[in-house]
Structure 1
Amino acid sequence: MRVLREAWRYRSLIIIILTPLLLLPLPLLIGTKVSECAFTLLVMAVFWLTEALPLGVTALLPALLFPLFGILKSTQVAAAYFKDFHLLLTGVICLATSIEKWNLHKRIALRLVILVGVNPGWLMLGFMVSSAFLSMWLSNTSTAAMVMPIVEAVIQQIMRAESEVTTQRERSLTGCSNTELELEGEGLGLGASNLHATTCPPGVDNSYSVRIHYKGPVRVGVGVPAAEPKGQYRSVKDHMMCKGLSLCIAYSSTIGGITTLPGTSTNLIFNEQINDIIILLLSWIWLHWMFLGTERERSDREKATARVIEQEYNDLGPVSFQETATLVIFIVMVLLWLVRDPGFMPGWASLFPQLIPLLCQAPPSPQHAPPISSYTSLCPSHPTLPHQDHSYKCIHDAFPLAVHRYSGYATDATVALLLGLMFFIIPANKPSSPKYAETLITWTEFQSCMPWEICLLVGGGFALAEGTKVSGLSVWVGNLLTPLGSLPIWALITITCVIVTTFTEVASNPATITIFLPILAPLVG
């Protein structure tokens, strides 16, 4: 037993030593680029799943092993660690830092809850909407940490108000009366005739304290402590309400995080947006039915909840200049993201077009080729192309010198960096203030919020994906998974979801998606 305890104590060191040793036959006996890349992938997968090393440190292994195995040059691996999304993350973290510093998140959450009402069901929806909205731009963990104190304050106020209301109601219904209490008052110098107590009739639950008063020149209150309740909650409904409100923050933070790229690190790796309105609505319906039921009562609770929320909001005071500036920058950032390249019309990014000769760099496939109106001819002998849609092949064969004009220079990272820079320029106070030189955020505050581990983790995922492509591991895995490609799409999605979801039970989401994307990507083709 002692040996097992010591082994568990040094489990990280044991995993770090044994994992490469057990996998050494791959590069030593087989010796191909595929096996060497597989060795790197498996070592990283074990380290990520067990967290024997910090996630960011494990993400640096491709930079060490790929050059040694001759898969990629060190300069090529280093280039894979810093992509466009790192700049996007930098600008978004500037926004998140200012939001947290000036408590704008708290004002948004409270205001949304006030708007939706104080019925427990609508209260849950209000917290879910506010959490999901904040999680679109902040990390899931940060959003939950921000909103949970507000939820706790509301729950405590509800419990306290209900306790008072229930006590008063029971006393009024049971008809408590003042009866004489015979006591030996010698120790206190009190006569029995000067003492009275409030008690309740027989058969009534007398779990409340009995207050004894002295009818003399000086009134003395002697409190007899009441028995503490066995549980923390007065009823099952209270317990279920607390569970539901707490879980709704976790669910909505996760759901909101998958809506936008900066919402969660998983999206930054996957680089795709997911529409979550239906997911959020279904989660609210399920949580409401499971924890709150369908009854419509608790008017006392609603009033108590309304009071605590309004008090919390009033304690914030009027909207400050810092909050206004942060909110304006936030709105401008979202609008610029939306209208950069909306698709149905030219966005502002078309003012900064990129010209790419089709002979040198063509669109990847006919499916992604834009309308022919997007092309112009460099050769004077060719007339301007007609404004109608043609396939990419026709364009490429007929006009080899054509160029493609599209808004490729400005990206979402450009917007994030531009407005993120504003937080270091705009003063946080009025010119008359002695602290006028202070900006909305400082570099120290930004560094404290910047998830450097996520930057390395995602960079390691990009490097790993590049290595699997260059070494041929992705093609080899794709050939092994070819039978799965013949399955119906719903079956393929189900199998993938089950496997990935199982891994997320023991590993973090960023680590799981970084492991599986290079493996499952060939199935898309």
Structure 2
Amino acid sequence: MGFTRWLWNGRRYLILLSIPLLFSPLPIIIRTSEAYTAYVIFVVSLYWATEVVALPVTGLLPALLLPMFGVLTAKQVGSQYMKDVSMLVLGNLMIATAIEKTNLHKRIALRVLMLIGTSPRFLILGMMLTSCVLSMWMSNIVTTAMMVQIAHAILEEVALKEDIELNSTEEKEKDDNDSTVLSHSQKDLCDNSHGLENLRKALLLCISYSANIGGTGTLTGSAINVIAINLIDSYCGPGHGINYGTWMLFATPGMIICLFISWMWLSMYYVGCGCCPRIFSCCRTVWKDDFSSTQAIIRKQYQTLGPIKFSEMAVAGHFIVMIVLWLTRTASWGWGQLFPDGYLSDTTPVLIITFSLFVFPSTLPCSSGGSKAWNPILSWDFVVRKVPWGLFMFIGAGFSMAEATNVSGLSVWIGNQLKVLQGINQILVVLCSSAAIAVITDFINNMSAANIFLPLLVELAVSIRMNPIYIIIPSAMACCYAFMLPIASPVNAIVYSYGALRVKDMVKSGAVLNLICVLVTNISINTLGALIFDVHNFPEWAESAVLPTTFSPMYNSTDI
């Protein structure tokens, strides 16, 4: 018993040591660049999957191991940790901190809830719309944490009201000396108690689901999207035509459909639709209260924000300008035509707005009569505290291993092995790939799943002459459909940590949505994707990445 407990307590160190030893024959016996790269990928991937070390810390291993094995120089690896897309993510996160600092996101959230309504179904819809829209532009974690706090405040007030009504009903029944029979009012209160428990689960799950779905709507809505586009850049070069505008044009319709279906499913499952209660138990409406107090709760929270401030309007104005700059840069009449072709990217508008937020005053210069200093909207100290810097270690590790796969020749070997799939219908390949990733990402962190499997899918696409966009975009979005388990994403972990959900609650409702969202995404890529990206044809810009049928292994000097 003592030895077993000792092993259990030291399981983290046991995994930490056993993984490198398990794959040690690769660098010790085979001793080629391909083997060295495969060894690094296996070790880093399994460390990510088991989370034996913090994910950003594991992300440092490629920068350590790839130069030591002679696959990439330290300079080559270092450049992968801060690429153009990394600057895009960094600028976007800084802009999100400005929104958070001014409480603009909370004002938007409460205002939407006030406008949509506060019946249980519309409360769920309001939460989902707000979480989804905010997650398109802000960190999913920040959005989820804020929305859960709003939901928690509403539910606490409603629960307090139910306790007061239950106590008053019990007192009345005692006076009537009829405590052995439940009155109609008591039955309604019992139904309401069950309904409140279901509503609590529905609100937590709807915030999690909509935040994950919203991350697919924009290019920077999720770091997974950025990883996907960078992989296509790394393997096939520029020219694929994916930018902020084309991504939103493709992703937004599917995002809206997935969000609407999620709302219908959660409303039916936890609130009831009342359409055929005698046949389906889920159709029994379990909430009998008018829920009128919720509007007052939301209005009270909104009033605590006070009148809209100059800083909020300034951030909103900056945000709108950034979107306009994104959407008009590549147009034939757009402002990008004023500069040399190929020198600007979607990062440019982000950096313009980010720099402006560090110098733009947070109050009207004339409002204080010159008695106060003009402080900018953003300060570096605030940004340092709020930006998740470890994310760049994580993203950079994925980029480094993708580059090492190309340079070492491992991509050639993998591509040759995957040629056996060339005769299979491409629609089926894409559907199976995205469905498999949607399942896998429920058991390991979705960012880890993206870094592990998306490079393999790019190699698969090139080896069978499939448009890489055709398989990468649905698979990247499938990584975002992490609905079933708390470990799948930080968003799920946040809502689960509140203690109102059980794992089986997440699995029951999440399994259905996993399937539906994967199907919607595959329909979108075969219809809208064909119109926007011409995904059914192998493009010229991917020709440079076509893998040869044979290759010469790249040996290190120690092998000669």
Structure 1-normalised TM-score? 0.75
Pairwise CA distance, 1:124 = 0.9
- Asked if residue 281 in structure 1 is aligned to residue 260 in structure 2, the reply is yes
> Residue 57 of structure 1 corresponds to which residue in structure 2?
57
State the one-letter code of the partner of 1:323. Answer: E
Letter in 2 for 1:449: K
Match of 1:346 in 2: 333
Deviation of 1:446 (Å): 0.4
Report the 3-state secondary structure (helix = DSSP H, G, I; strand = E; otherwise coil) of the residue aligned with 1:155. Answer: helix
Confirm or deny: 8 A CA contact 2:117 2:123 kept in the other structure.
yes
Q: Aligned residue for 2:326?
A: 337
Q: Pairwise mapping of residues 32-431 of structure 1 onto structure 2 (< 5 A)?
A: 32-165=32-165, 199-203=175-179, 235-271=193-229, 273=247, 274-275=251-252, 276-295=255-274, 300-342=289-331, 345-354=332-341, 408-431=342-365
Deviations 1:454-474 (A, max 9, x none): 111111111100100111111
Give distance in 1, aligned partners of 2:378 and 2:160: 39
**For the residues of structure 1 that align with 2:144 and 2:420, how far apart are their CA atoms?**
42
- CA 1:199/1:514 → structure 2, altered by over 3 Å: closer, same or farther? same
Counterparts of 1:451 and 1:518 in 2: how far apart (Å)?
24
Inter-CA distance 232–41: structure 2 relative to 1 (3 Å threshold): farther
Structure 1 gap ranges (5+): 177-197, 208-230, 355-407
Query: 2:336, 2:344 within 8 Å by CA — same for their partners in 1?
Result: yes
Alignment of 1:488 with 2:425, yes or no, is: yes
Give RMSD over aligned pairs.
2.6
Deviation at 1:236, TM superposition (A): 2.2
Q: Which residue of 2 aligns with 1:13?
A: 13
Contact kept in structure 1, 2:93 and 2:139, CA below 8 Å: no
Please give the alpha-carbon distance, in whole angstroms, between the structure 2 residues aligned to 1:52 and 1:298. Answer: 44
Distance 1:321 1:203 in 2: 59
- 1:523 to 2:465 alignment: no
How much has 1:501 moved relative to structure 2?
A: 3.1
Equivalent in the alignment of 1:403: none
After superposition, what is the alpha-carbon deviation per residue over 1:346-392, rounded to whole angstroms, capped at 9, x for unaligned? 322111132xxxxxxxxxxxxxxxxxxxxxxxxxxxxxxxxxxxxxx
Measure how far apart 1:18 and its partner are.
2.1
CA-to-partner distance for each residue in 1:252-295, whole Å, 9 max, x for gaps?
01111111122222122113743311111111111111111114
Measure the CA separation in 1 of the matches of 2:35 and 2:348.
39
Which amino acid in structure 2 is aligned with residue 327 of structure 1? Answer: A
Letter paired with 2:222: T
Query: Once the two structures are superposed, what CA deviation does each residue of 1:166-199 show, in whole Å capped at 9, x if it has no partner?
Result: 666787xx7x6xxxxxxxxxxxxxxxxxxxxx72
CA contact (8 A) 2:154 2:298 kept: yes
| CA-CA distance at 1:65 after TM superposition | 2.1
CA distance in 2, matches of 1:502, 1:283: 18
CA contact (8 A) 2:191 2:286 kept: no
Q: What letter is aligned with 2:385? A: S
Pair 1:501-2:438 in alignment: yes
Amino acid at match of 2:219: L
SS class of match (2:292): helix
Deviation, 1:165, is 4.9
- Residues 233 and 353 from structure 1, CA distance in 2 versus in 1: closer, same or farther, beyond 3 angstroms? farther
Alpha-carbon spacing, 1:418–1:504, altered in 2? closer, same or farther (3 Å): same
SS of the equivalent of 1:487 reads coil
Paired residue type of 1:30 = I
Q: 1:78 to 1:241 in 2, by over 3 A?
A: same
Question: Following the alignment from structure 1 to structure 2, what is the Cα–Cα distance between the partners of residues 232 and 10?
Answer: 48
CA drift of 1:164 comes to: 4.2
Q: Which has the larger radius of gyration?
A: 1
Q: Residue 107 of structure 2 contacts residue 305 of structure 2 at CA under 8 Å; is this kept in 1?
A: yes
1:204 deviation in Å?
5.1
**Residue deviations 1:108-165 (CA, integer Å, cap 9, x gap):** 0011111111121111111100000111111211111011111111122223334445
- AA of the residue aligned to 1:292: V
Is the Cα–Cα contact under 8 Å of residues 192 and 287 in structure 2 kept in the other structure? no
Q: For the Cα contact (< 8 Å) 1:71–1:471, is it kept in 2?
A: yes
Gaps of 5+ in 2: 184-188, 230-241, 275-284, 463-560
**1:19 alignment partner AA:** I
Give the secondary structure class of the aligned counterpart of 1:261.
coil
Report the residue type matching 1:313 in the other structure: Y
CA 1:162–1:54: 2 relative to 1, 3 Å: closer
Distance 2:87 2:443 in 1: 30
Instruction: Single out whichever of 101-110 and 485-494 deviates more from structure 2.
Output: 485-494
CA distance in 1, matches of 2:54, 2:422: 35
The separation in 2 between residues aligned to 1:334 and 1:5, in whole angstroms, is 56
In 1, are the aligned partners of 2:357 and 2:376 still within 8 Å (CA)? yes
Q: Which has the higher strand share?
A: 1
- Choose from 443, 454, 460 the match for 2:391: 454
> Match for 2:126: what amino acid?
G
Tell me if structure 2 keeps the 8 A contact 1:154–1:309: yes
Measure how far apart 1:503 and its partner are: 3.2
Q: Is this contact kept in 2: 1:262–1:268, CA < 8 A?
A: yes
User: Cα deviations across residues 295-349 of structure 1 (Å, max 9, x unaligned)?
Assistant: 479685431111111111112110011111111111111121122224xx43221
Higher helix share: 2
Count of aligned residue pairs for this structure pair: 424
C-alpha change, 1:20 and 1:299, in structure 2 (3 Å) is closer
Report if aligned partners of 1:158, 1:301 keep a CA contact under 8 Å in 2.
no
Change (3 A) 1:297 1:499: closer
The alpha-carbon deviation at position 42 of structure 1 amounts to 0.6
Q: What is the percent sequence identity of the aligned residues?
A: 38
